[in-house]
């Protein structure tokens, strides 16, 4: 495969999913600690209390990333580690952890891509209303400023919020993620506040980092595709579904056009978010790049003139029950390239697949022959390459995930890692997908 020489080959993780050490060095509680403590929320009643023990094993994990030939690592900062109550008192030991991590990455020749928020909100802020409270835009901007002052002499790539759709709708309306609420109005208000917080954090990072900073957001997408691309009805169904697509309507449009989808606003009725004068200008200021997370697509047929989502029986599905469709990533990249008029560099900040793995040991030599995950990754990387050839400005690809980890409400029952983790011993083993990634990424070194 042909990629530009300076292409970013990265692996991604998030703090709560890998760090563990939830009670160490003054870390405050997060909404995920609380959620995991609530019976029935996590499928296997587990938590991120230990996870991959990355908080203690970060040196080895940096060596692991280096062994994959990756030239970039996307990680997230746990807000409650550095500000145990979300605002106010700073925990120096928390700052020191990320300080050392960043130094270690740079020494290993790996560029840090820091995400400020990947879902572990300090519990004290939830008690003050969390994302539903408009004040969170300022709490988040203060936290962003603290991190930019601490790491901004070495970190130049910043991501504000990971998947604000999950932060708002999945967590406040569907109730599947912390804080587990089911309220349409709250979800839409939270969505608006995530974007306001994103805009304010971009300003804070740019103002406080001592090196010129690149700042952007990470949005998730499930492109709407026709069930059968040769059937005009299905094509129409996908078009209609796209008009109501929440990922574009609630996130791409406000960030890049400065307004919410009129269809979604109208549909929301009294649940539409309250917007104050000046908000949309903060939300739609210049992004240095757009990070996009993509795992699957939605397939649509037409029924009584309306789009209905259907299962594509002919396709392969992952253990998450997500259809494998690399063409979705390709069309998404072309769409976002057009949406941003080619002026905003794109990064695939997450892409990967969960399948059950088998660790095979022969003579002390352990292997995981994860053919399906390998094929998934190569198929999506190839789809990315085709988009670049057609002119999309894609600067990098991050595999989700560096290693098996705590998959939120699915606990430890999903395996997205290209590195296998034995949770009893914390031993890491490169899967075949990691070996394939290493070969591809070798051109980056
Ligand atoms: C994304 C999340 C990431 C991981 C993958 C499978 O939505 O950002 O933390 O859970 O899905």
Instruction: Please list the pLDDT of the chain residue by residue as tens digits (445 residues).
Output: 789 989 999 999 999 999 999 999 999 999 999 999 999 999 999 999 999 999 999 999 999 999 999 999 999 999 999 999 999 999 999 999 999 999 999 999 999 999 999 999 999 999 999 999 999 999 999 999 999 999 999 999 999 999 999 999 999 999 999 999 999 999 999 999 999 999 999 999 999 999 999 999 999 999 999 999 999 999 999 999 999 999 999 999 999 999 999 999 999 999 999 999 999 999 999 999 999 999 999 999 999 999 999 999 999 999 999 999 999 999 999 999 999 999 999 999 999 999 999 999 988 899 999 999 999 999 999 999 999 999 999 999 999 999 999 999 999 999 999 999 999 999 999 999 999 999 999 976 6
Which atom of ligand 1 is the closest one to the Cα of 166? Answer: 7
Q: Is 119 in the pocket of ligand 1 (CB under 6 A)?
A: no
Q: Is 374 in the pocket of ligand 1 (CB under 6 A)?
A: no
The rounded Å distance from CA 296 to ligand 1 centre is 12
Q: Is 165 in the pocket of ligand 1 (CB under 6 A)?
A: no
Cα separation of 95 and 137, whole Å? Answer: 21
The reported pTM is 0.98
Does residue 206 lie in a domain region? Answer: yes
Q: Is 407 in the pocket of ligand 1 (CB under 6 A)?
A: yes
The rounded Å distance from CA 304 to ligand 1 centre is 34
Cα separation of 361 and 429, whole Å? Answer: 11
Does residue 2 lie in a domain region? Answer: no
**Substitution candidate for ligand 1 out of 174, 293, 320, 409 with most atoms within 8 A of CB:** 293
Does residue 255 lie in a domain region? Answer: yes
Q: Is 416 in the pocket of ligand 1 (CB under 6 A)?
A: yes
Q: Which long-range contacts (CB under 8 A, 24 or more apart) does 53-57 make?
A: 53/20, 53/21, 53/426, 54/13, 54/18, 54/19, 54/20, 55/19, 55/20, 55/21, 55/24, 55/97, 56/20, 56/21, 57/426
Q: Closest residue (by CA) to atom 4 of ligand 1?
A: 407
Q: CA dist 173 to 5, 179, 227, Å? A: 43, 10, 27
Q: Is 429 in the pocket of ligand 1 (CB under 6 A)?
A: no
- The sign one gets for the Cα dihedral 27, 28, 32, 38 is positive
Does residue 192 lie in a domain region? Answer: yes
**Cβ neighbours of residue 269 closer than 8 Å, sequence gap 6 or more:** none
Does residue 16 lie in a domain region? Answer: yes
User: What are the residue numbers of the active site?
Assistant: 163, 350
Q: Is 404 in the pocket of ligand 1 (CB under 6 A)?
A: no
Does residue 195 lie in a domain region? Answer: yes
The rounded Å distance from CA 365 to ligand 1 centre is 30
Give the per-residue pLDDT at 344: 98
**Substitution candidate for ligand 1 out of 251, 350, 380 with most atoms within 8 A of CB:** 350
CATH number of the domain at 135, please.
3.20.20.80
Q: Is 296 in the pocket of ligand 1 (CB under 6 A)?
A: no
Q: Is 350 in the pocket of ligand 1 (CB under 6 A)?
A: yes
Q: Is 397 in the pocket of ligand 1 (CB under 6 A)?
A: no
Q: Closest residue (by CA) to atom 9 of ligand 1?
A: 14
The rounded Å distance from CA 115 to ligand 1 centre is 13
Domain that holds residue 276: 8-443
Does residue 33 lie in a domain region? Answer: yes
Which atom of ligand 1 is the closest one to the Cα of 416? Answer: 6
**Substitution candidate for ligand 1 out of 407, 414, 417 with most atoms within 8 A of CB:** 407
Residue 160: phi, psi to the nearest 5? -75, -75
Total domains in the fold of the chain: 1
Cα separation of 426 and 236, whole Å? Answer: 50
Give the per-residue pLDDT at 91: 99
Cα separation of 433 and 401, whole Å? Answer: 11
**Cβ neighbours of residue 117 closer than 8 Å, sequence gap 6 or more:** 76, 79, 140, 160, 161, 162, 167, 197
Helix (H) / strand (E) containing 150: helix 136-151
Q: Is 162 in the pocket of ligand 1 (CB under 6 A)?
A: yes
The rounded Å distance from CA 403 to ligand 1 centre is 13
The rounded Å distance from CA 231 to ligand 1 centre is 33
The rounded Å distance from CA 111 to ligand 1 centre is 21
Does residue 63 lie in a domain region? Answer: yes
The rounded Å distance from CA 349 to ligand 1 centre is 10
Give the per-residue pLDDT at 363: 87
372 touches 415 (CB < 8 A):
no
């Amino acid at each position: 495969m042909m990629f530009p020489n300076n292409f970013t080959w990265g692996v991604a993780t998030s703090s709560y999913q890998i760090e563990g050490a939830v009670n160490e060095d003054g870390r405050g509680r997060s909404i995920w600690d609380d959620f995991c403590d609530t019976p029935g929320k996590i499928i296997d009643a587990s938590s991120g209390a230990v996870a991959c023990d990355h908080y203690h094993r970060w040196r080895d994990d940096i060596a692991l990333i280096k062994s994959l030939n990756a030239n970039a690592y996307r990680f997230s900062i746990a807000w409650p580690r550095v500000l145990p109550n979300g605002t106010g008192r700073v925990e120096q030991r928390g700052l020191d952890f990320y300080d050392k991590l960043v130094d270690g990455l740079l020494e290993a020749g790996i560029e840090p891509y820091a995400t400020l928020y990947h879902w572990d909100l300090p519990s004290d802020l939830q008690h003050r209303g969390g994302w539903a409270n408009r004040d969170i835009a300022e709490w988040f901007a203060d936290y962003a400023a603290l991190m930019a002052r601490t790491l901004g002499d070495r970190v130049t790539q910043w991501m504000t919020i990971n998947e604000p759709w999950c932060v708002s709708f999945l967590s406040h309306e569907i109730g599947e993620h912390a804080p587990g609420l089911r309220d349409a109005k709250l979800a839409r208000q939270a969505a608006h506040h995530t974007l306001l917080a994103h805009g304010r954090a971009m300003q804070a990072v740019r103002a406080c980092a001592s090196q010129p900073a690149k700042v952007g957001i990470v949005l998730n997408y499930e492109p709407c595709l026709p069930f059968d691309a040769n059937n005009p009805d299905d094509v129409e169904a996908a078009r209609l579904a796209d008009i109501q697509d929440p990922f574009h309507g609630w996130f791409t449009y406000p960030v890049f056009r400065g307004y919410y989808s009129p269809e979604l606003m109208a549909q929301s009725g009294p649940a539409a978010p309250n917007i104050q004068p000046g908000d949309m200008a903060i939300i739609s200021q210049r992004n240095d790049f757009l990070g996009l997370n993509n795992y699957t697509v939605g397939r649509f047929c037409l029924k009584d003139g309306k789009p209905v989502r259907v299962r594509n029986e002919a396709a392969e599905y992952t253990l998450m029950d997500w259809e494998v469709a690399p063409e979705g990533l390709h069309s998404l990249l072309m769409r976002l390239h057009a949406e941003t008029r080619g002026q905003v560099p794109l990064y695939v900040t997450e892409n990967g697949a969960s399948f059950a793995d088998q660790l095979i040991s022969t003579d002390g030599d352990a292997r995981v022959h994860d053919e399906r995950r390998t094929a998934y990754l190569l198929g999506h990387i190839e789809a990315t390459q085709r988009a670049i050839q057609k002119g999309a400005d894609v600067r990098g690809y991050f595999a989700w995930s560096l290693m098996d980890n705590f998959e939120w409400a699915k606990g430890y029952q999903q395996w997205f890692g290209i590195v296998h983790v034995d949770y009893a011993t914390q031993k890491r083993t490169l899967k075949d997908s990691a070996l394939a990634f290493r070969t591809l990424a070798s051109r980056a070194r």
